[in-house]
Homo-oligomer: A and B are copies of this chain.
């Protein structure tokens, strides 16, 4: 299959993660997958949510939002698509909580903000991959480091072929759209795989996971480079 940008089916778009782009945040990173660009900041607060008070645990939470003109046509700041944003915020928070032993964060909340500057597909996977770096840098400011490295990647089925890291145009005609959050060894934290047209088989899901895990190595490397600075 000829992809729009001549990539092979298994290839990521160019991945860039630039650390420390915000002078105030305890951790920050600008993460790009091709045109898609997300500003990720991690803000530490000396406070835990009420349900954790006295538990000996800290917390990690996330908010995802799009700038109005991140998209091809402008999207209003008001209620439109708030449901989608809340759902992605919950996914990011849940994923990042898997990367750190909350007992070591005792007394702190890490607030992750993922603000999409440009949306060309894969904004949630770029958000998680960049947010991991922002969180790792914030942890470093406390003398800590993550317990588990995590990245996210999208995989899909388009015209019957499995493609890695779909851009917006590919995504909008995909038959299956899957988002994976995974560790360097290929183990999984989250799989969300949706048939947009028709059905998919368990075997196809396994293929998608396998191709995603191979491509994610490049993201893990970019994360490590960004954190080392």
Measured between alpha carbons, how far is A35 from B74 in the docked complex, in Å?
27
The verdict on A117 contacting chain B, using a C-beta distance below 8 Å, is yes
Give which listed residue, B39, B63, B89, B199, contacts A117 with CB less than 8 A. Answer: B39
0/1 string, A101-140, CB within 8 A of B gives 1? 0000000000101010110000000000000000000000
Contact A194 B189 (CB under 8 A): yes
Number of interface residues of A (CB under 8 A): 55
Stretch in A6-14, A17-25, A214-222 touching the partner: A17-25
> How many angstroms from the CA of A22 to the CA of B90 in the assembled complex?
27
When distances are taken between beta carbons in the complex, the residues of chain B under 8 Å from A77 are 63, 65
Q: Decide if A74 touches B45 in the complex (CB within 8 Å).
A: yes
Question: Which among B28, B35, B83, B113 is the interface contact of A87 at CB below 8 angstroms?
Answer: B83
Asked if A202 is at the interface of the complex by the 8 Å CB criterion, the answer is yes
Whether, in the assembled complex, A15 has its beta carbon less than 8 Å from a beta carbon of chain B, the answer is no
Assuming the contacts A84-B90, A87-B90, asked whether A188 and B210 have C-beta atoms less than 8 A apart, the reply is no
CA distance A26 to B117 in the complex (A): 15
A residues with a Cβ closer than 8 A to B are 22-25, 28, 35, 39, 41, 43, 45, 63, 65, 67-74, 77, 82-84, 86-87, 89-90, 94, 98, 111, 113, 115, 117-118, 148, 183, 186-195, 199-202, 205-206, 209-210
Q: 17 pairs across A/B with beta carbons < 8 Å?
A: A22-B118, A41-B68, A43-B69, A45-B74, A74-B111, A82-B86, A83-B86, A83-B87, A83-B89, A87-B87, A188-B193, A188-B195, A188-B200, A188-B205, A190-B192, A191-B191, A202-B209
